[in-house]
Amino acid sequence: MKIGFDNKKYLELQSKKIREKIDNFDKLYLEIGGKLFDDYHASRVLPGFEPDSKMKMLLKLKDITEIIICISAKDIERKRMRADYGITYDMEVLRLIFEFKKLGLSVNSVVITLYNGEESSKSFIKKLEEINIKVYVHKPTAGYPTDVDKIVSDDGYGANPYIETTKKLVVVSAPGPASGKLATCLSQLYHEYKKGVHAGYAKYETFPVWNLPLKHPVNMAYEAATADIKDVNMIDSFHLEKYGVTAVNYNRDLEVFPILQAILRKIIGKDIYFSPTDMGVNMVGFCIDDDNLVCRASRQEIIRRYYTALCDYKKGMVTDGVCEKIKLLMNELHIDPVKERKIIGISREKMEEEKVPVVALELNDGRVITGKMTKLLSPVSALILNFLKEVSDIDDSVDLLSDDVLEPIIQLKPIINHPSAVLSLGDVLIALSICSVGNEALKLALENLSKLYGLEAHASFMVDSEEANILKRLRVNLTCDPVFYLYR
């Protein structure tokens, strides 16, 4: 894979910037936007960005760091999903806790924000308490967002319970955006200053990149990724007026900044920030080595987001406004999905020829491999078998799995009332792993699954969620036409 981003330089600059912020205060509350683990959006639009970069940076500071995780009661109630893993936000919180602890990072607590006594939140609180995690609930803040005097009072932030922290750096994270991280940080600042602690606040968010142009594909890919919550990139007018420097931020931060500045002034007693950009510690823009490569990668991400939105709309998961928003972004960048993503046209053409669903996969050298529906195999299963033969130099006439292996699995499906009559990708991978015992050629072929990392694929139909999740774990960037198809 070609690299367009210097990750080593990024870690050095980012760590230095955060340490500078920490040194200004007795305690720093650092709001981290985006994903701490597995930031695959960043790695897709910035080839060379390592998905766990934020975590590597934090591990350098782990002796002085503890973590608070926020999740909105509204997200628990509506079972909001993390797209990269296909799991709900509440399950992602549990996963984060496990991962943090495994790395030796201190998890202070979980905060349920915007809590109004929802039963789903009560059940989640019980789960957390069963694994000995402290839980705090924050109700909507009285007076927010206009009445600063009420917000910064015992009836506002003061009504929230104080979260006891002991480390110099308190990282406030979440499974996704709009989880209440900022409100949690400000509530803590209110309590800290009442206790005489000189605490500070800063924001570590990868996107949008403040020192890239407003309409740079990296920043527009962020808009596409957040189309469901209506984020819009904008010029930071506060920064431009104060410093005469053009910087990019987004609508939510710009809209809330006057109130945030007034709240911080009332808590701390003076202005410490004069623009939303001032609050940030994002050094991504200084580490792009190949802008052309990054632009191409970001354009592909926008296309992927568009097809995801089309499928989600078909399933009733989003409104058509999400699709329209991303379509407008593509129009601004003059993106033609079929021209820029050739596997879309190839999968559709092959489907017309064969009259069955097809998946197409593009290799790094430009070659395209396809998989089609058969009596025994799903299109995805056929694709992966064809891929393994291609990259392992196995003749196409050779069957990696014999009918003697596949037929018993097929015969079992109706007995257990399985909804699919063909072998899914999971079925095939398990069968391959079993048959690889004592078969060196097959064992080597399986090792080549790692070569799927970062490859692009398109299906002429909506791939089954189980198979789609396996492809995600194999790091295949899949898009699908919004067409239902049952494997029957």
| Per-residue pLDDT reduced to its tens digit, 344-393 | 999 999 999 999 999 999 999 999 999 999 988 999 999 999 999 999 99
Residue 83, pLDDT score: 66
Asked whether residue 316 is domain-assigned, the answer is no
Q: Which two tokens stand for residue 240?
A: 């431009």
Inside any domain, residue 140? yes
Q: What is the mean pLDDT of residues 19-30?
A: 95
Write down the pLDDT at residue 38.
82
* Residue 31 token pair: 């709001």
For β-strands 81-82 and 87-88, DSSP reports them as antiparallel
Q: Does 486 have pLDDT greater than 90?
A: no
pLDDT greater than 90 at residue 247: yes
Residue 156 CB burial class (10 angstroms; 0-12, 13-18, ≥19): buried
pLDDT digits (tens, 9 = 90+) for 29-50: 999 987 788 889 999 999 999 9
- Let me know whether 267 and 370 are in one domain: no
- Average the pLDDT over 178-188 and give the result: 94
Specify burial of residue 458 (Cβ count, 10 A radius: 0-12, 13-18, 19+).
buried
The answer to whether the peptide bond before residue 145 is cis (omega within 30 degrees of 0) is yes
Give the lowest-confidence range in 74-78, 187-191, 297-301, 412-416. 412-416
Q: Residue 419 pLDDT > 70, yes or no?
A: no
Distance CA 298, CA 300 (A): 5
Q: Is there a domain that residue 485 lies in?
A: no
Confidence band (pLDDT; 50, 70, 90) for 204? Answer: very high
Q: For residue 230, is pLDDT > 80?
A: yes
User: Is 331's pLDDT higher than 70?
Assistant: yes
Write down the residue that tokens 């699995």 correspond to.
Answer: 409
**Per-residue pLDDT at 167:** 96
Query: Mean pLDDT in the chain?
Result: 93
Q: What is the pLDDT of residues 420-473, one digit of tens each?
A: 778 899 999 999 998 888 888 899 999 999 999 999 999 999 999 899 999 999
Cα torsion at 211, 232, 239, 269 (round to 10°)? -120
How large a percentage of the chain has pLDDT more than 70?
98
pLDDT of residue 330: 98
**435-443: long-range pairs with CB below 8 Å, 24+:** 435/400, 435/401, 435/405, 441/392, 441/394, 442/400
Tell which residue, 395, 391, 336, 393, has the closest CA to residue 365.
391
In the numeric block, which tokens belong to residue 314? Answer: 């078909």
pLDDT at 6 over 80: yes
Q: Where among 286, 319, 334 does a domain terminate?
A: 286
Q: What is the pTM of this model?
A: 0.89
CATH number (domain holding residue 234):
3.10.630.10
- Does residue 65 form part of some domain? yes
C-alpha span between 473 and 456 (Å, rounded): 14
Residue type, 326: I
Do 118 and 18 lie in a common domain?
yes
**Residue 185: domain span:** 7-286
pLDDT of residue 416: 66
Q: Are 160 and 56 in contact (CB under 8 A)?
A: no
Q: What is the pLDDT of residue 409?
A: 79
pLDDT of amino acid 448: 96
Q: What is the CA radius of gyration of the chain?
A: 25
Does residue 190 sit in helix, strand or coil?
helix
- Is residue 446 situated within a structural domain? yes
Domain boundary among 286, 315, 332: 286
Do residues 31 and 72 touch, judged by C-beta distance below 8 A? no
Residue 152 lies in a domain: yes
What is the arithmetic mean of pLDDT over 125-138?
Answer: 97
On the question of pLDDT at 249 being above 90, the answer is yes
Answer whether residue 329 is part of any domain. no
Instruction: Report the number of distinct structural domains present in the chain.
Output: 2
How far, in whole angstroms, is CA 113 from its chain's centroid?
20
Residue tagged 């495994």 (tokens): 102
Cβ count near 76 (within 10 Å): 24
Does some domain include residue 312? no
Closest by CA to 116, choosing from 134, 136, 137, is 137
pLDDT tens by residue, 77-100: 999 887 666 789 999 999 999 999
Residues 332-346, mean pLDDT to the nearest whole number: 98
Structure-token pair, residue 192: 């800290």
- Least trusted range by pLDDT, from 76-85, 115-124, 401-410, 468-477: 401-410
Same domain (yes/no): 166, 41: yes
Residue 80 pLDDT: 87
- Amino acid 84: pLDDT: 64
CA angle 194, 199, 202 (to 5 degrees): 135
Same domain, 107 and 178: yes
Show which of 286, 307, 334 is a domain's final residue: 286
350 and 280, same structural domain?
no
